[in-house]
Structure 1
């Protein structure tokens, strides 16, 4: 349908519609476990070129391009904010090789494919080749969770995406500057001076702005409630200042600014980064819908069979070579190398940057720059679909898929945690017991339960703990404050519905916590002290699988006095039974419950050493509570 046949919308209506469509697409993707990019692309195409409900150039007018430019700048700043050099240094050698060698090689290979297979000019191929390095951290993370990869390949893929996100854009920015300056007809010397001075000014201002912000935040020159607004305005100001000296260097400046702040070790870093993540979700949604709505079907039609060649050569040639060549000589097994080489989904940053850079190339007289945005949509959609359907089967074929069952992270190495881990193991649930006290992990190690010694919130845990394999958390240490801290910190990352916290010993009003702190409470279930006291008295935690012939009523009749504690469905989901929530089970589900001593003796008595240790823990916790109350 011709867009001119439909009355245009006002800019306010466009902004509201884009926000609803973008965020709505992300919610639908979460609700139905679909790639958000595919939904945003489809919605943008429908409201734009298909039905002509709104066309960005028509309805937003001259503010459309500046809005996209500012949004991309903020997105790239957030990308730079994720690049902590300390974390990169702690990563394995393959990650560093994929960054230092793989990124430049990926740019060269992608540019070659675009030049030879697609037929782009060398200018457009060189610019788009830099953007092709970006593999999309927001896209690959859900794929890794769904595929349940083993820790090392999942970690390498995730870190490559995080680090190469700003690096690929920086390559594209530098190449774009070279192309734009060369198109002005300047001499080699003048062009080199213009590019060098512009890039140097952008790098210097980005570094200086980052250092100044870090200093201002560290010395409390800015109040806590104003840190995010000041940072937000500072990013836009740096972008505008550097862009006025040499076009597009503002993107370089804000990316460097983000990198500087990421390595400044600010006490407010978590809050700043979390806000930037939220802002980025909004901006990415809006930019993607706007870019999709501005696509021209005529340009898409001109790509024809060359677009198919582009996808094939990128997925089957450029990406594998970009990974396999840098990893030559490493100790990484070949099956892991091939899995990484055949996994490279692209994300929304590529689309946003490609559309912006394509417009700049067209303005400079390079006509095929208009093909960058359609090509970006095609490669993003193709790689998301290809890798979304093939990653899990490929991982299983290569023997790199983790156990296809739920996992639970138990924070605290008490006898209760050991007993729960043993009971859930029978139900097919992988567990990891973490504690900052090595002695607390002794019984778990003796029982063959995987353990982690250290602070689960520390940076070391990010590299050594396979969080992807443990989508649920139960904070059950003997320290209520630490349980609350763990649940509060992990809640935004795993989802608050997946983070649980053992109930406090007392539920007096003066002990009550604000609703925004902590995790879900195990209301009506034994507290830490009572759980360990029960184990000391002979109670046990046991898992039983229900069948068509042996249902919930039969289970309850055989175990009078048993208290359900957790349920593992036949589909693999884990949930805890709480007061007020009825326990409904079907054939194939597992129920884990506290069994009283008489029932425990009838099945299997607990290990004497665990019962004795449970008594000691319960007594110590009771005495501690009496001292502090």
Structure 2
């Protein structure tokens, strides 16, 4: 099969299949992507990236890595790392040097390679990368401090490690390893990366803030500008482009008054496509015979990187920080290598082979062995390690109730009684005061604010219920949290506006969310029911008291709110769902008095 069109489509289809499989089994997608790449490449010979793209392969890889790093940098908010900047700074400086030296010494003495090749290999494997860190963090769910440190390190360390690899490469290829040439290359690379990155980030931020770019062109303009400065930076200083795009992304993410949500969503989608394709394509270039020839020495090098270099670099970097021993242990355990290591190793190995450097052919197989081993071992064990260390965040099955009215208070108290973490958010101080008097966790303010993202412990919530009377604010809160938690996690009360004149109706997309607790259950109805003495209570079904008995006992006086099944899974009652509660289920309901007069 030599048709390029068919091969490209095949890579795309396999990429999506691997991503979906990884999502289902909760593993970083890099693992199935690498396996598929190896199978269709060196095993069955169906595809070879060099034959497919020729000389265009590495320009495509470089541009793709630039987009991936820029997208990752857009997620780096300085407030997320408040109090832990020292740890990240040390990991990306002192930690890099420690890892580099230990990996280089291990490669030299265990693999019997020259010092030049050993130090280049050590520089390449200093990087971790957001492509594998972020999916792993979703699965492991470490506490807020550890998650932010690992995420920042994974993004910032990529250009740092790539820059170190560039310097080592320049030292190797320069005449007699001239230090003056190396220091000159370092200075030019650093100045170019910082200068171009700052100019691009500030320039794009000002343009977006002042609406100089039409809305429909924003994503395209940002993408092309970033690729443009990446290429220009690389022309001036080899491989400085990675530093450029990282600096640009961090500056743009932290400029006040600049809305990057649309850009970030576009870049995330693009990054998933690029990451998937790149891993498969690069894996097709692997030489299995070269890997087999490395022998057991390669295993000992990997063990030295994972269990000597990483813990030492983490503990040295933590000097003077407030991190606990257990948090440091988990950070030491999680350091998978990703796309930047794969791309940089392939690029430099090819250049060294072209110049006739001996032993350069071992760089790519060794780096891919490090990638595969770290991803497999840490993906399968990190969750258990985090659990044993007691540094996992709670399961995100809590409820955030927007609106601190009396009904919300009754529901929150009952959810708490059932062991469900529940918090009420409201901008009304009197409502918040009432909640505090009942020991209900609260957030006073706008739950969509940047302050809320730092103080509301959003990682604890799996459901958001909109129970407030603020008709202008409710839709905004609904869409904000749907974007954060995903579809099917945010619901609101009906406002009966769909029955009014067409000009007063809400959008159908928003109306689909207004089905909480059943058809026609409005804020006014709940407020009236509570005012007339309605209570929220939990009823446990048994073989002797079935759901039919429950309905017969309470009739229309009971409005089911939340069902809790025998697996302790919570089901919010909606107008369009149909549950069949069985023995062992718990039903949280609003029970109205017999003489309330409510329909």
What TM-score, normalized to structure 2?
0.88
Q: Equivalences for 1:229-378 in 2 at 5 Å?
A: 229-366=220-357, 368-378=359-369
Normalization by structure 1: what TM-score?
A: 0.84
> Structure 1 pair 268/421, CA: closer, same or farther in 2 (3 Å)?
same
Kept after mapping to 2: 8 A contact 1:406/1:469: yes
Residue 167, structure 1, aligned to residue 161, structure 2 = no
Q: Is 1:417–2:394 an aligned residue pair?
A: no
- Where does structure 2 lack aligned partners over 5 or more consecutive residues? none
Q: Does 1:497 align with 2:493?
A: no
CA distance in 2, matches of 1:303, 1:248: 29
Residue number in structure 1 paired with 2:2: 8
- In structure 1, distance between residues paired with 2:100 and 2:510: 45
Within a 5 Å distance, the mapping from 1:418-497 to structure 2 comes to 418-497=409-488
Give the aligned partner of residue 172 of structure 2: 183
User: Which deviations, in whole Å up to 9, do the C-alpha atoms of 1:551-599 show, x marking residues without a partner?
Assistant: 3223323332222222233334333222232112344433222222249
**Map of 1:55 onto structure 2:** 48
CA pair 203-94 structure 1, distance change in 2 beyond 3 A: closer
Answering whether residue 519 of structure 2 is matched by residue 530 of structure 1, we say no
Change (3 A) 1:450 1:358: farther
Give distance in 2, aligned partners of 1:313 and 1:346: 15
- Does the alignment pair 1:583 with 2:574? no
TM superposition shift of 1:287: 0.8
Q: Which residue of 2 aligns with 1:608?
A: none
1:457, 1:486 within 8 Å by CA — same for their partners in 2? yes
- Name the CA distance, whole Å, in 2 between partners of 1:257 and 1:551: 61
Secondary structure class of the residue paired with 1:559: helix
Instruction: Tell me how far 1:461 sits from its aligned partner.
Output: 2.8
SS at match of 1:496: coil
Shift in Å, 1:405: 7.5
Give 1:39 deviation, angstroms.
1.8
In 2, Cα distance between the equivalents of 1:240 and 1:456?
A: 41
One of 543, 546, 550 as aligned partner of 1:555: 550
Indicate the SS of the match to 1:480.
coil
Change (3 A) 1:398 1:256: closer
Q: Which moved more, 1:42-51 or 1:26-35?
A: 26-35
Q: CA deviation at 1:394?
A: 3.0
Residue 174 (structure 1) shift: 2.0
Change over 3 Å in CA distance of 1:184–1:352 after alignment to 2 = closer
Are the counterparts in 2 of residues 145 and 468 from structure 1 also a CA contact under 8 Å? no
Kindly report the root-mean-square deviation, in angstroms, between the aligned alpha carbons of the 2 structures: 3.0
Give the 3 Å change call, closer, same or farther, for CA 447–105 of structure 1 in structure 2.
farther
Corresponding position of 1:45:
38
Query: Structure 2 matches for 1:507-546, cutoff 5 A?
Result: 507=498, 508=500, 509-515=502-508, 520-522=513-515, 524-525=518-519, 526-546=521-541
* Greater alpha carbon shift after TM alignment, 130-139 vs 39-48: 130-139
| Shift in Å, 1:162 | 2.6
Deviation at 1:145, TM superposition (A): 4.5
Can you list the C-alpha shifts for 1:337-367, whole angstroms capped at 9, x where unaligned? 3333333344444434444444344445445
- Structure 1: gaps (5+ residues): 1-6, 601-629
C-alpha contact 2:99 2:309 (8 A) present in aligned 1? yes
Q: Distance in 2 between matches of 1:18 and 1:123?
A: 36
Q: How many equivalent residue pairs?
A: 589
